[in-house]
Amino acid sequence: MDKLFKNSWALFAGYALIMLAFGLQGNLLGVRSVIEEFTLLSTGILMSAYFIGYSIGANIVPNLVSKVGHIRVFAAFASTASLSILIHATFVNPIVW
């Protein structure tokens, strides 16, 4: 059991950081949408879109990984995630968000 944990601690630490970042981003988007006076419907759709994308990604990503490899897929999605948080700061529009 100890050997298993030693071999996979980085995976669990990375997942914990991703969930921490999502928690911070979720709070940021919820508070910012109230400050910018978005409607409750658009705020609800905005906050639930993450989980819709998470579900769609769980079905699409295995095909991408098998075609181009996990490193390229990770690089593409990491840069997309970085770009998305920058777009939230640049454009204040619920459709863009």
For the segment 45-54, what is each residue's pLDDT rounded down to a tens digit? 988 888 898 8
Residue 62 pLDDT class (50, 70, 90 cuts):
very high
pLDDT at 1 over 90: no
Tokens standing for 4? Answer: 């298993």
Could you tell me if 12 and 68 are in contact, meaning their C-beta atoms sit under 8 angstroms apart? no
For residues 54-72, average pLDDT = 91
For residues 63-92, average pLDDT = 88
pLDDT at 67 over 90: yes
